[in-house]
Structure 1
Amino acid sequence: MKRAVIVQAKRTPIGKKDGMFGSVEPHDLAAPLLRHLALGIENELNEVILGNVVGPGGNIARLSALQAGLPLSVTGITIDRQCSSGLEAIRTACHYIQGGAGICYIAGGVESTSTSPYPKRARFSPDHIGDPDMGVAAENVAQKYKITKKMQNDYALLSYKRSWAAYREGLYNQEIIQFNGVNTDEGFHKERNMETLLNRAKPLFVKEHGTVTAANSCGIHDGAAAVVVMEEEVANELNLKPVLRFIDSEVSGIHPDYPGISPVPAIKNLLLRNSLTIKDIDLFEINEAFASKMVACARELSIPYEKLNISGGALTTGHPYGASGAILVTRLFYEAQRRKSATYVLASVGSAGGLGVAVLFEVIK
């Protein structure tokens, strides 16, 4: 079996909805990123695979590749697995290489919530099963797993402090390519007293006994992220340094009322199949859509916070739906290089409709 490795990873800055990228369509947001990642490997590229959730459709991956000036022979496919779309794109590229379908892919995701043509969200599940908005679903998780508002606020504050520490130390600079002169996430334009905001914030989705607030939830954002996935022998022949080697992946399905907990069975099944435990994984990146899901997943899996989203996450930097899974892998790409002792790292996302995706990588020394 061929082995898939990640040799490069980048993302754009993340903008707030109707913010600094308010008029930038998704293909224009993705194109500079693709151009940057393709430099020098244009002749090896088989395909661009991008996740996208809120449109406008029309195969954004192919459109973005053409807009980036990539060779006409580089094909494109766009994936919608809701918030795990970007991670699914990377997972797909890795399996393509394992199966011998190609040798080199740019895989990730892009989202422009600002320019989406759709006035409301798509249906996630039939009404007779349950089709909650994601905020209500986050409350469902909090209630079922007894995650209090204080527990959520404590996690949100930890994430906020970690994100600001990473920002001040310049760690995000490694991840980000400049876009239209911007090289900073829009959420970092002003540091706030987050502890006060968390304590004062009122429940958004369930008014009576609600625990999910604007302060312990992510916002709505625009952004793109992608990685170069290559067959390991080809990478070595081209003198490109592989950083992460794809090991395996898993997708789990659970009740759509509780999508936030869907990473739990995905991660459990993935580790079991590979004879690994939580202790064997050095770094976890799980998408921070809501603090309730982070606390619930960490507790159900016994993941110590010291291993989880160690440089912060979407609660501070933002959640551009289709790109978020690729942002997680981009973060792992650089964190693994900073932590020389790391051996295994794992990325996971829970998605609308009750779908969890988990991808396991080995760090190449």
Structure 2
Amino acid sequence: MGVPLVKSPVCLIMAGGSGTRFWPLSRKHYPKQFLKLVGNESLLRATYNRCLSLTTPERIAVCGLQAHRTLLAEELPEINHWVLEPQGRNTAACVLLSALTLKASGFAPETVMAVFPADHHVGTPDRWLELLRNAVHFASSEKALVTLGIAPTEPHTGYGYIEKGGMSAEGIFSVSRFVEKPDEARAKSFLASGNFLWNSGIFVWSLRTILSAFENWQPEMLHQLATAVANGTVDEVYSNVASLPIDKAIMEKADNVYVLPADIVWSDLGSWNAVYEQLASTDGENLNVSGEVLFRESQGCLVQVPSATKVAIIGMENVVVVEHEGRLLITRRDLDQRVKEAAEKFDT
């Protein structure tokens, strides 16, 4: 049944990403988190619905860009706690600005904050909830920075990894180190060792603990944003705040970092190939997401084009074809990490 919560956490959904690897469907004015890539709801809405199983609607906050204010409000009209950034400054600034804003709005320092990217897919929500409840309980009783580490199922080179240290509580380990995205050989060695987890980008901590970590490891950033929140000058100073991922800014430096191994069906949906892997029922299946498509002597292909568009895929293997608003992507699935180059070329 999991660990009962003394008090529901605050859930922070980070919704400021650009999703350039999903060009041309994801664009600056309508990025990835608003797309319905798997299922009938947007990734943002799916994340919000998962949070509802962990906490109450009035304890869910969303951090996104001011430029997406209307999109955010239309997608999640239930939200009362908005943290709107004048520009994206990576996840450390997002987390810090959100923590300071929530504290200023009346949340107590001991309030536990669970932080989620807006664009993940979770195929085992009941197990996800059980694990998050355990993480919240641990973070509320210890001065701990907790992250979820996904039990790896393959030597994936698109994820960062976390090496487990010693067990500190039932199912929770200290962190020995964070590792950047490895090459295939290192990824295979990580998988074989059984001691590495995928870095999920999901975090749990109290407001007091994360603000203390910023005081220790990023004092200038804390001073900048604490002063700006107090004075109402966030828009004026935000461009001067360091653009750092929370891993680099805090998690790799602090000594009170813990990881909870998560045996869940999970994907960060970071590319078209990740979408293919979620939607395909068998390896090599051709997927017609939308459009009128003829497949001949082809396998492992994904096609998403306007409904009136007719496409013939003949003699092709493992390619992605996506057309949207006058932009066309054709790529091998194993090269889909380079799709952001097209976004940079055509949508800057």
What TM-score results when the alignment is normalised by the length of structure 1? 0.27
Flag the structure with more relative contact order, 1 or 2, with Cα contacts below 8 A and sequence separation at least 6: 1
Structure with larger Rg = 2
TM-score by length of 2: 0.28
